[in-house]
Structure 1
């Protein structure tokens, strides 16, 4: 059985960076011989098997022939005659088309090692254009490898633009698009991921609500103002530098959405709902995005609010039941607003106020406090008690 380590595992090994998963290609075998050797078949679109002990994926060497639109529009060929080079030639980038034998010998028919040294993301052949998913994948690799100085070859950028123009990006399933978006936002440079998609025209197909922000000045009164899109890129980079997770970064991404269309908060939130439904975004990401879009402005003026307004704001954050979500909200807002030491100090003062009030409210033993109240009066008592805590805090600090 001829077995080769392929793809990202080899690439990352050569770059000296950790690799989470290993993918293997098997040449000269059939589904029947793999099953006979004790492997478990898991692939439906093409033969992929799990190793009986390691549970790593082993795929039969295959070639693909374009037969329809979209990334599923391919005829897959996996007979025993398919060679390792045939299999590697169908991959997207040269750096992802390097294989290694079980003895550690590198097989590199497309000079992927040379492109690793040149820090270049470049396609293997013009067949690159046949799979629209590759636009998202290249953007993801650009974001992941940006800290190492990698860039996309101009000729590859040109093919990405052609894919965006031909409209096949619209044929991608929501689940697959979100998977690539989440990977890109979770990368070392989420701002690079969005910037690459914007530059090649793909962002308009996938996230038009974000793409349009690059045409909207952040400050409508200034002719020298940067765009809302550029500001969003800065927020994404800061969020990553602050150690934000995916829901937090997604919240930073969607903060400016819709604000050029309508100042009505409900309209903005409906637009976010439309985006998250279209892409089938997980609930935790959706919730943080809604919180940031709806409440960041209120947070930034927290010290100007009266006791009742502060109570309403804290209740709207659901801070008692969702403390971890509150932290994500604060972090996303911090990424969005910190442009200077002055703004940083102001922001920290606002968040400290809210955190202090939340801690005081959560510090009450509500079970004991509610013993003498019936169900109907409990809600009134809780509200009055919270209001009293907030009022006392304001009185002590003014």
Structure 2
């Protein structure tokens, strides 16, 4: 029995990146032997084991055959006779098809090390196109490795286009789509994930709501880039620089989604686009089974981001209503989240990426000032009950807000 470290861990070691997960490949092994050695069998579709001490994954060498639709449409064959080269052949990209033995020797039958040196994402074989999830994976790897100047090989991109137009993407399960998207949103360049999906013609299938924004104009006065799709990507790019929070990044992606519903006769204006985007965001989140905290923030950001831009001209009562609307009193973190999304929107415009955005800080500081209110004293001093307490608290908050604006 021979054991090799394989996959992303090898890639990241060669790129001097932090290794977060290690996957091990067992060649010339079998289930009985692994169990005898104390490994715990956990794989459902093919033999995967957990190490008794490290709990890292060990998989028996296997091959696969396409028999149905989607990423689950495979039959896997595992045998002690399957070679290392045969197992590596089934993998997606050459940079993920490298193995290392316990002595540190590399096994690279498909020239993945050279592709790492040349910064190329290249499919291992034409079997690449049998798994539609690989379209999303390559888009995610491009986003993950963007700072290292990786690019997709021309023939690999051609295969991705074929896959996008084959109908196979429609068989992907929502959970898998969201998992890849979530991981992409965690990278330093999440906008590249969506740009790659569009380049290989998958965005219109996976995220039609985002794809529809391309070609929709916005007023040149406010948007030098004009195109709403381009603005959306610039906004996500800025959001990624401001925070690592996935909820904020996703909300930034969706903030202008309602512009896709604006009648052409109103272009380039988009009155009411924030509210119009709410049902689209809810539908998208339901379709991909996106967590409620991300959905709720995205809905709120779509509705209020334009309000934050114009906050200097807003009435105190309306500002207080925004804090109430985002449930700032129970979820104070939302104040900063909304400020960051609004800043990303303001700076997500061609030639305006570095403009100062004081409205966000203003929105945060006002909130902090209002928090000085002592709710216990209000209740005790006024001997209030029920709804009267809420009304009195609102009244006092408004007083403080007006005081802040005067100062």
- What range is the shorter-chain TM-score in? over 0.9
Residue 189 (structure 2) pairs with residue 189 (structure 1):
yes
Structure 1: 5+ residue stretches without partners: none
Distance 1:102 1:211 in 2: 47
More displaced, 320-329 or 80-89? 320-329
Distance change (3 Å), C-alpha of 1:374 and 1:243: closer
What's the counterpart of residue 376 of structure 1? 387
Distance 1:358 1:147 in 2: 37
Residue 311 (structure 2) pairs with residue 308 (structure 1):
no
Secondary structure of the residue aligned to 2:261 is: coil
Distance 1:352 1:93 in 2: 44
Distance 1:375 1:359 in 2: 26
Note the C-alpha offset of 1:258. 2.0
Note the C-alpha offset of 1:308. 1.3
What's the counterpart of residue 209 of structure 1? 209
The correspondence for 1:295, drawn from 304, 319, 327, is 304
Distance change (3 Å), C-alpha of 1:353 and 1:376: same
Q: What are the equivalent positions in structure 2 for 1:186-335 lying under 5 Å apart? A: 186-219=186-219, 225-262=225-262, 263-264=271-272, 265-335=274-344
Q: Is the 8 A contact 2:213 2:259 kept in 1?
A: no
Q: Is the 8 A contact 1:320 1:358 kept in 2?
A: no
More displaced, 91-100 or 363-372? 363-372
Note the C-alpha offset of 1:185. 1.4
What's the counterpart of residue 41 of structure 1? 41
Distance 1:273 1:341 in 2: 30
Residue 151 (structure 2) pairs with residue 140 (structure 1):
no
> Cα deviation per residue 1:113-159 (whole Å; 9 max; x = unaligned)?
11011110000111111000000000011111110011000100000
Note the C-alpha offset of 1:243. 2.9
Q: What are the equivalent positions in structure 2 for 1:317-356 lying under 5 Å apart? A: 317-338=326-347, 339=349, 344-345=355-356, 347-348=357-358, 350-356=359-365
Distance 2:335 2:315 in 1: 21
Note the C-alpha offset of 1:81. 1.2
> Cα deviation per residue 1:302-339 (whole Å; 9 max; x = unaligned)?
11111211211221122121122222221122111125
Residue 110 (structure 2) pairs with residue 110 (structure 1):
yes
Secondary structure of the residue aligned to 1:370 is: helix
Distance 2:346 2:84 in 1: 51
Q: Is the 8 A contact 2:373 2:396 kept in 1?
A: no
Structure 2: 5+ residue stretches without partners: 263-270
What's the counterpart of residue 79 of structure 1? 79
Residue 101 (structure 2) pairs with residue 101 (structure 1):
yes
What is the Cα-based RMSD across aligned positions, in Å?
1.9
Aligned residues: 394
Distance 1:20 1:236 in 2: 25
Distance 1:110 1:341 in 2: 44
Distance 1:273 1:61 in 2: 42
